[in-house]
């Protein structure tokens, strides 16, 4: 699994700047005024930095932009990276700047002359999250290594920053690695093994196997995986960092590969269905971050791990299956499998843990991509207070999220002639009817959010804080939601 680069935060020592190897970063605002370490860089380069700040190239830079001065005279560094940042604090902009620094680092040593920078944590988070590359299955010479050092005016004021960033980055990287992993490697059993390893961090982990799932009545979940050689599982992860209160629940769809089953997907693009466990990946990443930072909250993460394959034993379109709740479902389309996994796990989570609130995440529908593209996840909720709190957290973390409607009017699309409901409602409002299906398995007293992350879990182009591929979307926002809403205050 990928490990975030470890950052070292030290007091500013301008005498070390000349000998620094790799890349050196300086910050300037729109005025071009230089702080103490930047003045030393300017002196070492015989005024080259000042001349750049007077150039048309600098005048055309926008806040958050960076520019390289390659092989600067008077310094051992390969490049000085000049970062334009405004005086006004903007967390998203600081992270964007950090991302540009992280992207350029590659395997170079990196010295960031932060000085009195107010947002050291935001910049370092941007550096760390963008400094990611999934190389588990690449061979040959790979660009790895290098150190990251931040020189700051007041190291005591930055105490704990590196550890805080590391806890967030570890969770995001865990999610990205899981989502990026190929399906022949990340089987249901291998996924469960990765989650079991969280017990070293104090997370209580248990794996429910097929025999127990059958006994519990999770037949809609089992119906999805019955055509696969990989056994279906539910993994329960408990972080008990709070008091005696009931936990907050996170539920994730973990379809490690989705062929569509008997309702087979087209061949073109099917290789992308290795990411159909993205919801479970986010839940895993959040649980790791909570444990690493010692969150003062009780949180339970539950993931349904299955593989949807065509086989002589696979579920057929037209089959009727009973859920754990007891409702029967006519399976019209076996490619609408995620909701069949989630409905049983949602019901189990409520029956066993009686959570104070519940969020499920799933790469559930292509319809949400048509509606929101790759900029926003779809947010569906039965509780305005919880939903608004999540949307606030997502905005604060720069993770796009947009609320979508729910309503009884959509239920008629799920009406079945032979069962309590169908698993699909046709093309109109496809992401909404999927959420409406899930809502039937949420108790009236349970505040609930459904996050359709099909458009944001993995992308074909790089995002602000990630290279193309798995983004890790949701780890930061959910961690913030839990910190702001569910953590007990320090005594």
Based on the domain organization, do 188 and 144 belong to the same domain?
Answer: no
Distance between CA 391 and CA 402 in Å, rounded?
Answer: 8
pLDDT tens-digit profile, the chain (491 residues): 888 888 999 999 999 999 999 999 999 988 888 999 999 999 999 999 999 999 999 999 998 899 999 999 999 999 999 999 887 778 889 999 999 999 999 889 999 999 988 889 999 999 999 999 888 888 876 676 789 999 999 999 998 999 999 999 999 999 999 999 999 999 999 999 999 999 999 999 999 999 999 999 999 999 999 999 999 999 999 999 999 999 999 999 999 999 999 999 999 999 999 999 999 999 999 999 999 999 999 999 999 999 999 999 999 999 999 999 999 999 999 999 999 999 999 999 999 999 999 999 999 999 999 999 999 999 999 999 999 999 999 999 999 999 999 999 999 999 999 999 999 999 999 999 999 999 999 999 999 999 999 999 999 999 989 999 999 999 999 999 999 999 988 75
Q: Give me the residue label for tokens 């919880």.
A: 386
Per-residue pLDDT of 309-368, as tens digits, reads 999 999 999 999 999 999 999 999 999 999 999 999 999 999 999 999 999 999 999 999
User: b vs e for 357-386, b when ≥16 Cβ sit within 10 Å of the residue's Cβ?
Assistant: bbbbbbbbbebbbebbebebbbbbbbbeeb
∠ CA 190-192-197, rounded to 5°: 100
> In sequence order, what DSSP letters do the residues of 47-66 get, joined into one string?
THHHHHHTSHHHHT--TT-E
Based on the domain organization, do 291 and 142 belong to the same domain?
Answer: no
Based on the domain organization, do 149 and 173 belong to the same domain?
Answer: no
- Strands of 110-115's sheet in order across: 7-11, 148-152, 110-115, 23-28, 79-84, 66-70
Decide if 147 is inside a domain.
yes
Decide if 116 is inside a domain.
yes
Structural domains counted in the chain: 2
CATH code (residue 431): 3.40.630.10
Res 491: pLDDT: 55
Decide if 388 is inside a domain.
yes
Based on the domain organization, do 141 and 176 belong to the same domain?
Answer: no
Based on the domain organization, do 330 and 188 belong to the same domain?
Answer: yes
Decide if 285 is inside a domain.
yes
CATH code (residue 70): 3.40.220.10
Q: What are phi and psi of 23, to 5 degrees?
A: -125, 140
Res 135: pLDDT: 80
Based on the domain organization, do 149 and 176 belong to the same domain?
Answer: no
Decide if 139 is inside a domain.
yes
Decide if 158 is inside a domain.
no
Range of the domain at 458: 166-485
Based on the domain organization, do 308 and 408 belong to the same domain?
Answer: yes
Tell me whether strands 448-452 and 377-381 are parallel, antiparallel or unpaired.
antiparallel
Based on the domain organization, do 300 and 269 belong to the same domain?
Answer: yes
Based on the domain organization, do 74 and 174 belong to the same domain?
Answer: no
Bridge partners (DSSP) listed for residue 306: 255
Based on the domain organization, do 300 and 200 belong to the same domain?
Answer: yes
Tokens linked to 287: 């649980």
Decide if 37 is inside a domain.
yes
User: Which of 153, 179, 202 is a domain's end point?
Assistant: 153
Distance between CA 65 and CA 60 in Å, rounded?
Answer: 10
Length of the chain, in residues = 491
- The whole-model pTM stands at 0.96
Single out the residue of 363, 324, 364, 366 nearest to residue 343, CA to CA: 324
Tokens linked to 94: 């600081």
Decide if 122 is inside a domain.
yes
User: Which of 153, 187, 206 is a domain's end point?
Assistant: 153
User: Which of 92, 127, 153 is a domain's end point?
Assistant: 153
Based on the domain organization, do 450 and 311 belong to the same domain?
Answer: yes
Based on the domain organization, do 35 and 96 belong to the same domain?
Answer: yes
Residues noted as catalytic: 265, 339
């Amino acid at each position: 699994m990928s490990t975030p680069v470890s950052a070292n935060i030290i007091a500013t020592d301008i005498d070390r700047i000349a000998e620094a190897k790799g890349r050196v970063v300086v910050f300037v605002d729109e005025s071009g005024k230089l702080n103490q370490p930047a003045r030393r860089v300017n002196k070492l380069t015989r005024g080259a930095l000042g001349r750049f700040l007077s150039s048309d190239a600098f005048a055309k830079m926008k806040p958050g932009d960076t520019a390289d001065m390659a092989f600067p005279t008077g310094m051992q560094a390969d490049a000085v990276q000049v970062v334009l940042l405004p005086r006004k604090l903007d967390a998203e902009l600081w992270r964007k700047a950090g991302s540009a620094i992280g992207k350029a680092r590659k395997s170079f040593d990196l010295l960031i002359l932060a000085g009195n920078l107010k947002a050291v944590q935001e910049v370092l988070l941007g550096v760390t999250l963008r400094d990611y590359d999934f190389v588990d299955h690449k061979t040959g010479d790979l660009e790895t290594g290098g150190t990251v050092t931040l020189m700051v005016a007041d190291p005591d004021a930055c105490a704990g920053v590196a550890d805080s960033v590391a806890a967030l980055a570890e969770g995001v990287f865990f999610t990205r690695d899981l989502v990026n992993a190929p399906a022949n490697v990340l089987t249901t059993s291998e996924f469960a093994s990765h989650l079991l390893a969280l017990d070293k961090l104090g997370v209580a982990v248990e794996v429910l196997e097929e025999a127990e799932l059958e006994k519990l009545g999770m037949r809609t979940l089992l119906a999805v995986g019955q055509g696969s050689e990989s056994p279906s599982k539910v993994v329960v992860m408990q972080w008990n960092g709070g008091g005696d209160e009931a936990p907050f629940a996170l539920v994730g769809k973990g379809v490690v590969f989705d062929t569509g089953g008997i309702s087979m997907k087209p061949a073109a693009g099917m290789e992308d269905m290795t990411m159909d466990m993205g919801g479970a990946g986010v839940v895993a990443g959040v649980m790791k971050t909570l444990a690493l930072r010692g969150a003062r909250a009780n949180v339970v993460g539950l993931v349904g791990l299955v593989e949807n394959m065509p086989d002589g034993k696979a579920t057929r379109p037209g089959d009727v299956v009973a859920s754990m709740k007891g409702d029967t479902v006519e399976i019209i389309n076996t490619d609408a499998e995620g909701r069949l996994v989630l409905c049983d796990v949602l019901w189990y989570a409520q029956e066993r843990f009686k959570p104070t609130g519940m969020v499920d995440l799933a790469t559930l529908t292509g319809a949400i991509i048509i509606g929101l593209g790759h900029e926003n996840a779809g947010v569906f909720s039965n509780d305005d207070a919880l939903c608004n709190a999540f949307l606030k957290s997502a905005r604060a973390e720069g993770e796009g999220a947009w609320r979508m409607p729910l309503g009884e009017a959509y239920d008629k699309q799920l009406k079945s002639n032979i069962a309590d409901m169908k698993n699909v409602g046709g093309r109109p409002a496809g992401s909404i009817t999927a959420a409406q299906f899930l809502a039937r398995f949420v108790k009236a007293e349970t505040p609930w959010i459904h996050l359709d992350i099909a458009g944001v879990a993995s992308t074909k182009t790089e995002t602000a804080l990630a290279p193309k591929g798995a983004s890790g979307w949701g780890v930061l926002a959910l961690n913030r939601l839990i910190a702001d809403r569910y953590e007990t205050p320090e005594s």
